[in-house]
Amino acid sequence: MISIDAFSPILGHVFSHPLIGSYGLPHSDSTFGPEVQWLWDLWFWVSVFFTVLITGLAVFFCIKYRFRKGIREVADPSTDHNTALEITWSVIPLIIMMVMFVLGFKDYMNMQTPPSGCYNIGVQAWQWHWQFTYPDGAATNTLYMPVNTPVKFSMTSKDVLHGFWIPQFSVQRDVVPGRTMTVWVKAVHTGHFVLQCSEYCGDGHSEMRANVDVMPIPAFKKKLAQASDIWIHDGKILPLSVVGKKIAALEGCLGCHSVNGATGTGPTWKDLAGSHVKLASGQTVVADYAYLRQAILYPGHKMVAGFNNVMPNYYTTFGGAAHKKHRKLDAIIWYINTLSSHANKASRPPVPDYPGKPAAPRSASPKKIAAAAPKLPAAAAALALVAEGKRFYASMGCIGCHTVNGSPGVGPTWKNLAGSHVKLTNGKTVVADYKYLRFMILYPGKKVVAGFQPIMPSYTDTLAGAKNKKKLDSLIWYINSLSDKASASAEPPLK
Ligand code: HEC
Ligand code: HEC
Ligand SMILES: [Cu+2]
């Protein structure tokens, strides 16, 4: 029996002939090139063959059996059935389809299944931006790849469906929110290529491109070493505002926020810090440090008048307890301050722009940093509560029944719970605001979420009463931090 693998190089060779080869496909610079190309060509010529055959026959019969005076003016009664003919024209296409299926499926599985020893790159897609992360922690907007090395991509989307597509590598895979999609590719030439989102994902879809740089391995390693430390350049600690500018590019903020006064999908950052901002609620607030922090950590909480609630959630980038993340947030707020002529003491982060002393921010002990930290503004206090709530979530055992990533559990997931609409077993739909969340935690079984059993244990002795309020609130802060729908009414009040 002739295997497909023995077969494809022969056909590949035939189809690579310049008179026949690859209509409409770009030249391919990955190892998938040949297999994709000869398949494409095979189906192209199968289609040409049948198009010519069928239209040719149709035209031929039109002429041959056209109406002529005196010759068979009345049509013969048509035969209603010809078994041999019908079997033939069913079985032949079936065989062709099966061949198409087997060959296509084989290549599909090949792209789906990374060989062992792949280099791993994480891909995050969101409106309208790509970010790549490498095993050593570096993150970039340009996709850097080592040449002649199989690279496995683990891809997630923060919002809607996107598509990871590098036409010149003959590779495409959808990036589906809520799932980790994988694909791999081995580039065979160094050079510059383009990655493009292949799923229509909103206003900025056509801008959702990234450069792809395939490099020799030593150059690749050097590039990563540079990219992995955003805080330092040539051995010197960078001012936070400079780091902030890098982060703004890296995180895609600049796709929606201009720095020159132009209105984009989001408000411009020019002259924002320290200015008066009109909110959709009709209030006017001052864009001080606490406001800017909150605008970044909890987009949609306080909507700026005239804009839509489309800013992605950056909580995982800037929020949480990690010191480095706080530092990143401060860096970006420093950058926003440098863009404003209204910037003042209240709008600047409480840490100096120039670190001054050579102690690298990463090497200082967390205790020292905490001791040196100025009084936390409101948003930072909320952050501390979120971190506390996360600890209670584990230590009190909520973790056993409630997932935080959207996957099903014994109880409803906490992902996107705060601020959402919840259907109860009594047929009512309620909004998961602060009052509701409190009630559900303090009185399990009184109201029951549709589709679940009333088996949640009672936590009255550990969570009820004034002395436990902070504990309960921190859990609710944590639930809030997990939701894209969270709004002020879902948050515990901060006094
Ligand atoms: C998809 C577009 C988009 C992206 C990406 C985006 N934002 Fe926004 N941003 C908005 C919109 C729209 C608003 C106004 C509505 C609101 O307040 O949520 C906004 C509001 C803000 C505000 C308040 C502005 C004001 O005038 O009061 C700040 C600060 C901010 N964003 C910072 C950031 C930072 C930092 C990043 C990147 C880490 C970022 N944004 C990424 C769309 C975006
Ligand atoms: C033994 C499993 C179990 C444990 C442990 C548990 N829960 Fe639940 N929880 C459930 C179930 C089942 C539901 C849905 C049925 C209901 O509403 O009573 C639920 C519902 C909820 C809801 C409402 C969810 C919604 O979608 O509206 C909240 C909030 C909640 N739990 C918080 C907590 C907190 C906080 C803890 C830890 C202190 C906790 N749960 C521990 C099983 C559990
Ligand atoms: Cu997209």
Ligand nearest to the CA of 307: 1
d(CA 307, ligand 3 centre) in Å? 21
Of 202, 223, 244, which residue is a domain's last? 223
Asked whether the predicted pLDDT for residue 80 surpasses 90, the reply is: no
Same-domain pairing of 91 and 199: no
Domain assignment present for residue 73? The answer is no
The pLDDT of residue 364: 42
CA distance 444 to 247: 43
| CATH code for the domain in which residue 146 is found | 2.60.40.420
Considering the entire predicted model, what is its pTM? 0.53
| CATH code for the domain in which residue 436 is found | 1.10.760.10
CA distance 145 to 147: 6
Closest CA to 197 of 180, 231, 172: 172
Same-domain pairing of 279 and 206: no
The pLDDT of residue 24: 65
d(CA 196, ligand 1 centre) in Å? 24
Of 171, 194, 223, which residue is a domain's last? 223
Same-domain pairing of 326 and 449: no
Same-domain pairing of 355 and 390: no
Domain assignment present for residue 172? The answer is yes
Surrounding ion ligand 3 within 5 Å at CB are 162, 197, 201, 208
Same-domain pairing of 243 and 351: yes
Closest CA to 398 of 492, 319, 471: 471
Same-domain pairing of 129 and 160: yes
Asked whether the predicted pLDDT for residue 371 surpasses 50, the reply is: no
Ligand nearest to the CA of 175: 3
Same-domain pairing of 369 and 236: yes
Of 223, 256, 273, which residue is a domain's last? 223
Domain assignment present for residue 168? The answer is yes
Domain assignment present for residue 99? The answer is yes
What digits encode the pLDDT tens for the residues 90-136? 999 999 999 999 999 998 898 888 998 899 999 999 988 999 999 87
Ligand nearest to the CA of 125: 3
Domain assignment present for residue 75? The answer is no
Structure-block tokens of residue 396: 């009190």
Asked whether the predicted pLDDT for residue 252 surpasses 70, the reply is: yes
Same-domain pairing of 450 and 331: no
Provide mean pLDDT across the span 75-84.
81
CA distance 229 to 21: 46
Host domain of residue 25: 4-65+83-112
CB 196 within 8 A of CB 227: no
The pLDDT of residue 380: 59
Q: What is the 3-state secondary structure (H, E, C) of 100-162?
A: HHHHHHHHHHHHHCCCCCCEEEEEEEECCEEEEECCCCCEECCEEEECCCEEEEEEEECCCCE
What digits encode the pLDDT tens for the residues 317-367? 887 556 677 788 999 999 999 999 999 989 998 877 775 433 334 434 444
The pLDDT of residue 22: 61
401 close to ligand 2 (CB < 6 Angstrom): yes
Asked whether the predicted pLDDT for residue 376 surpasses 60, the reply is: no
Same-domain pairing of 245 and 362: yes
pLDDT-based confidence at 299, cuts 50/70/90? confident
Domain assignment present for residue 77? The answer is no
Percent composition of the chain: helix, strand, coil (DSSP 3-state, to 5): 40, 15, 45
Domain assignment present for residue 71? The answer is no
459 close to ligand 2 (CB < 6 Angstrom): yes
- Residues with a CB atom less than 6 Å from ligand 1: 127, 251-253, 255-257, 265-267, 272, 277, 287, 292, 295-296, 299-300, 303-304, 307-312, 314, 332
Domain assignment present for residue 45? The answer is yes
3-state secondary structure of 232: strand
- Closest-CA residue, ligand 2 atom 23, reads 440
CB 472 within 8 A of CB 441: yes
Same-domain pairing of 414 and 370: no
Domain count, the chain: 4
What digits encode the pLDDT tens for the residues 390-415? 889 988 889 989 998 888 888 999 98
Same-domain pairing of 147 and 270: no
Same-domain pairing of 56 and 163: no
